[in-house]
Chain A
Amino acid sequence: MPTLSRQFLQSLDINLDNKTYEAFSEHFEKTLEDRVIESILDELNEQQLAELSTLRDQDDQHLQVWLQENVPNLNELIKDEIDILLGDLAEDSDKI
């Protein structure tokens, strides 16, 4: 189920047909994910970056533990990126 609800879009006066809505939600989620990843990478120092690169073959659980230890403000990072993206959406809602 898309995280960007139709109701939320309608509250910004954005009305899309089904196909466009699905594509738009997908694009929203992908953009958000990319921005969060960039934001996390910005937070890391060289040593942490080197550590992260060694976790490629580890399981997801291990990565989560590492993230909790090394990016304590992960929730704040995600929240800020969501706020920024929603703000972008609100600014451009006339053009959508």
Chain B
Amino acid sequence: MNAEASPAPNQQPDRNVPTEVDFDFDENYLRVDGDRPRESNRDNEIRQNEEFGRETLGASKKLQQLIREQTFNMISGADMAKSEAEDSIARVKQSYLTLKKNSQQRKIDKFQQKSRSSIFAFRREKFAQKARWANNRLENTQHQLSKLDKRHGLLIERNDDGEKIKRKRGDAYEKRKKLYIERARELEKKRAKLIEDQLVAKERKRRRKLKQDVKNDNIPKAQRLRSQVEHEHLGHINNFRENVRNQIQIELTKHMDKMEKTIMESNRRWRWHLENTEEDSEENRAIDRLDKAVNGGSEDRENLDRTKVDGAIDDIEDAVDELMGDDPNVVE
């Protein structure tokens, strides 16, 4: 053992200097199995202070409020933008329907006016109204049937003898399965993002703990570790996030490929309630564009771009304006 390694009586030993045997001494190392490590007064005091601290922080209304505010902001950052956009859609839809309703009302008023003019006109109008009523009912039923058919496909029907026969589901079913897969992908992406954030947060927490341990304990590698932790923290977290993201992406691809295979091979219904049935309409295409813009913004909550949402709202308003312009029932 060299001279530098032997500390003066009142001086802490310099543990950075290598000695013949260098290990961190653990007082529990020598204890007999079954013995509890002896608790010092200091440990007792720390534990008591921790308990008091827990109690004090737990009673703080302001801390609770701060936590709630941050949670709300984190969760609703994307939600708020989306609900704002949905409100906009609802407003535009409502104004469209109101215009349509007014237009129909005007037509009825016109018919009533004519009906008062002469008996012949009244009769003709009466029958015409009945025919329209019947026609509307028919159209409505046909529409409902077509929706139902689109959703479920026709699985069972009867032949000429009245026997039930099974029929393969049609293209609409296959199309809806693909739609379901798309939705499932979106859902899994959202989960993956949350899990990525969780893993990064755990890593940040672990690094903080390490830093704190180094700060509190007078351990030999303190100086080196402290500078390491302080200087590498940001770079480390960025690299860590990148690695986690890559790993999750690999897992996600595997998982989704498996899921897609299972869905495409199966013949059951896949949560039809999740989607709109009229995905081909102009309005729904516009809503989809809006959804994409909003979801695009919400993927990165920290950099949520409000202009994207505003732009998308303009898009939907334009799309619905076009729709209303094409509709002969709408009176400006």
**A and B: real partners?**
yes
Cβ-defined contact, A41 with B202, below 8 A = no
Given contacts A33-B67, A79-B74, contact A63 B62 (CB under 8 A): yes
Cβ-defined contact, A8 with B46, below 8 A = no
A-B contact count (CB 8 A): 141
A10 nearest CB across to chain B (Å): 10
Residues 52-87 of B, flagged 1 when their CB comes within 8 A of A and 0 if not, give 111111101111101110111011100100110000
Residues 3-38 of A, flagged 1 when their CB comes within 8 A of B and 0 if not, give 111011001110000000000000001001100111
Identify which of residues 77-95 in chain A touch chain B, using a CB-to-CB cut-off of 8 Å: 78-84, 86-91, 93
Cβ-defined contact, B53 with A52, below 8 A = yes
Q: Bound state CA distance, A49 and B52, in angstroms?
A: 9
Which of A13, A41, A80, A83 gathers most chain B CB within 10 Å? Answer: A83
Cβ-defined contact, A87 with B195, below 8 A = yes
Cβ-defined contact, B191 with A33, below 8 A = no
Q: Bound state CA distance, A79 and B71, in angstroms?
A: 8
B75 nearest CB across to chain A (Å): 5
Identify which of residues 49-96 in chain A touch chain B, using a CB-to-CB cut-off of 8 Å: 49-50, 52-53, 55-56, 60-61, 63-64, 67, 73-76, 78-84, 86-91, 93
Q: Which residues of B contact A60 (CB under 8 A)?
A: 60-62
Q: Which residue of B lies closest to A11 (CB)?
A: B190
Cβ-defined contact, A83 with B198, below 8 A = yes
Q: Size band of the A side of the interface?
A: 35 or more
Cβ-defined contact, A32 with B67, below 8 A = yes
* In-complex Cβ contact of B49 among A33, A52, A89 (8 A): A52
Cβ-defined contact, A90 with B194, below 8 A = yes
B28 within 8 A of partner (CB): no
B281 within 8 A of partner (CB): no
Q: Bound state CA distance, A12 and B75, in angstroms?
A: 12
Cβ-defined contact, A81 with B201, below 8 A = yes
Cβ-defined contact, A37 with B71, below 8 A = no
B229 within 8 A of partner (CB): no
B275 nearest CB across to chain A (Å): 13
Please name 19 further chain A to chain B contacts, defined as beta carbons within 8 Å, in addition to the given A3-B72, A50-B45, A50-B49, sorted by A numbering.
A5-B75, A5-B79, A7-B83, A33-B58, A41-B53, A42-B209, A46-B216, A49-B50, A53-B52, A53-B53, A53-B56, A75-B70, A79-B70, A79-B74, A80-B201, A83-B200, A84-B198, A90-B198, A91-B191
> CB within 8 Å of A: which residues of B?
45-46, 48-50, 52-58, 60-64, 66-68, 70-72, 74-76, 79, 82-83, 187, 190-191, 194-195, 197-202, 204-205, 208-209, 212, 215-216
9 tightest CB-CB pairs across the interface, nearest first? A87-B198, A53-B52, A83-B201, A80-B201, A90-B194, A49-B49, A52-B53, A83-B197, A90-B191
> CB within 8 Å of B: which residues of A?
3-5, 7-8, 11-13, 29, 32-33, 36-46, 49-50, 52-53, 55-56, 60-61, 63-64, 67, 73-76, 78-84, 86-91, 93
